[in-house]
Every structure is written in C-alpha cells, then in structure tokens.
A and B are shown apart, each in its own frame.
With several copies, the nearest count.
Chain A
Amino acid sequence: MQTHKAKRVVITIEAIMQKRLTDALESAGVTGYSILDVIGGSGRSGPWTSEGQISRASGMVQVICIIREERLDTLMEAAFDVVEKHIGVVTIGDVEVVRAERF
C-alpha cells in the first residue's frame, strides 16, 4: 500500500493549558489533532494520579498531531510559545501515513 512520510508530534501538557495550546495550533494553521487523557505520571515535580481529582489544576493530556514535515516548524513554534513556561514534554517521531492528501 502506498504510504507517505509524515511527523507525529506528541505534546504532553497540563489539562488547563489544553485549550490555549489547541487555539495556538489552530492559529498556526494546524487543524488535525487528537487528544488522549493522561491518568498519571511522574516528573521533576513528583508523581501524580488523576484518581478522585476534582480540581482541573492537576491532570495532563496528550495532544497528538500528524503533520507533513514541511509544516512541522510552524507547529513547533506555535506549541513552544504555550509550552515554554509550563510543564510539558514535546516529542517528534517519524511515521508513514496512508491518505497523504489529508495532512
């Protein structure tokens, strides 16, 4: 099956910053992303879990964008502005996608 190269960007960020991040992505012309719920984890600020939480202050999400390589820099700049001061991990991986016209 014919496939095309693309980038898979995963941004792990605090749930309270999700809207700001996706707004920034949309302003930068990134329209495709999916969001996963992170239910716990650990980092320099210690371990945490979403169990029993009612406060939006705790909790993180993963925003996943599949994007063409040539659009990666725009995305990264938009994301970085939001992530910079905040807790967050950004990774970029290589993937193949099927319907390239979508990205």
Chain B
Amino acid sequence: MNEILALAADNLLSPIILSFALGLGAALARSDLSVPEAAAKAMSIYLLFAIGVKGGVSVSEHGLGPDLIAAIGAGIVLSFGLPFVAFGLLSVLTGLSRIDRAAVAGHYGSISIVTFVAASTVLEGQGIFAEGYMVAVAAAMEAPAILSALWLVSRGGGRPAGNDGLMREILLNGSIVLLVGSFAIGVITGTEGLAQIDSFIVAPFQGVLCLFLLDMGLVAGRGLRQARASGLGKGAILFGMAMPLAGASLGLLAGLLCGLTPGGVALMMVLSASASYIAVPAAMRVALPEANPSVYLTLSLGVTFPFNLTLGIPLYVAVSQAMTGG
C-alpha cells in the first residue's frame, strides 16, 4: 500500500502529469493559452509513430511468441465485452438515455492511446519490461467496442444512422493505420532501423509527451467548464472513476490468463481501464448523431483520462506487480 502511494506521489510529480495539470488549470482559469490544432495533430502523429516503432522493434528483439495471438484475442474480447459492463453500470448509476449509455459504453470498450503511452513511460522509468506487441493489442482494441455500442442501440429498437462505409472507416482510421503501420516498420527494420531514428523517436519522446499532455489538459479543462454548465450528474462522474477500475480488473484477469509479464499485465489493465477520445467519438458522431457528445467526451477526456493518468496507472502497475509476483 505504502509503495502504491509512493509510486502515485512520484507519478503525480512527474513532468508529464504536471504538464497536464498546467493545461487543465490554465483552461479552468480561462487563460487564452492554446496549442494550434495542427501542432496537436502533429504531436499525436509523432507519438503514435514512435510508440508503434518502439513496440515493433521490441518484438523484433524478443520474438513474438505464441502469446501474441492470445493477447490480441483477449484484447478483442475485452473490447467487445467491456461496453456491456459499462452499459450496465451506467444504467445503475445514471439516468442517461439508452442511446447516450450505448455511446458512452463504446468509448470504454475502446482505448486511449495516450494513457497507454503514459503507462509505458512509467514502466520504462521503473525498468519494468513489457511485451512490445502490446501496441498491436492496443490497435486491435480500438474498433470492436464500436460494434457493441451499435448493437446495444439496435437491441433497444434504435437505428444507427447511415452506416455505409462506417466499418471500413473505423478500421482504416488514421490512428489504427499509423499504429499498425509503424509497428510493422519496427518489426521489419528492428534494432538496426531504430538506431537510425532513435534520436528522433526515443530521446525527445517524453518531452513531446509533456507538451501533448499540456494540450490535452487544455482541451479537457475547456470540456469540463462546458460540462459544469450543462450539468453532468454525480452518477456519471462516479461512473467515470468506477468503470476504469472494473475494466482494469477484467484486464488483469485477461493479462494473467494470457501469461503476460508483469509489465504486459499492467498495460492490459491500462488498455481496459482507458476510454477512447479519438476513434470512438468520431464513429459515434457518424452513427449515433442523437447521442450527446458532451456526455461522452467529458467522461472520457475530463474524468477517466485524468483519473487513469494520476491514480490509475500507478495502481494498475502496483497491482500487476503484486499479482504476478513481478
């Protein structure tokens, strides 16, 4: 317990968390500090590319092992399944409409890549190894949850809007393509390829992550100010912190079943605990335009993301260490 607290405190005072807090504070105080949209997008491309290549290189070093298939399979099952857990929790905790519950549920089955990145950074900082292919698991978990969300709506008699090409769009989503593509680049070029570009993708990584989190803090803060106005209920906020814990527990189980290393288990927990704020919101706007975006964006980016970033990650790492004896 003490160890968890120490870890959490350490984590809370790291440059990346403080940068997020700075952005959050600036937005809540209504400072005009802002990051240009193009710069934010460029940083997200950089982070996806770097994390993908690093994951791929790690696989090229340590080999794939049969567990890759298991882990990806587990990720897909989790992504399909978690929305049902989320939907149930939402039904108990909130008075949201079916369509809003389904939309929110879709977010929690999918993943937040920046939470994953932050967790990888924490693991690295503590010298804990994690399977490189967890990047591929992350990519695999992005999309299935969307199907579950749509199914939850249609089961209730709702009809998602014009879906032509939606599946294609989701699977060929920029962030999935970039993650999978750069993972492949890493696998193919291996350590030798990495040597050529590591002063670009390894050395400055954490610094870029700081500025990216500064921006995410700004965006989250603006969203929270909005949400305060539109009155997101206490039940919903409670959900935003309970659901990651539920997700992480299932992720823990899956990680242990797949026989992942302690680091891998922690990342599986993080993926399950985190909620999407890129791929799923876009898909929901297309398929469920009646769902209220401020509900799911606020929960995902304004509640769950900071919860995972500050308390969740150190907790998941500690639990995974304890459970795996790592």
Contact = CB atoms under 8 A, between A and B. Distances in A.
Chain B CB within 10 Å, residue with most, of A14, A16, A46, A49: A16
A48 B203 CA distance: 35
Interface string A73-96: 000000000100111000000000
B285 interface: yes
Interface string A13-32: 01011001000000000000
B37 interface: yes
Contacts of B324: none
A87 B292 CA distance: 11
A45 interface: yes
A52 B282 contact: no
Interface stretch (B91-99, B126-134, B218-226, B241-249): B218-226
B286 A52 contact: no
- Categorize the interface residue count of chain B: 20 to 34
B162 interface: yes
A52 B289 contact: no
Interface in B11-49: 32, 34-37, 40-41, 44
Nearest to B173: A56
A56 B282 contact: yes
B17 to A, nearest CB: 18
9 contacts: A16-B282, A16-B286, A20-B286, A51-B37, A52-B215, A58-B281, A82-B162, A85-B290, A86-B285
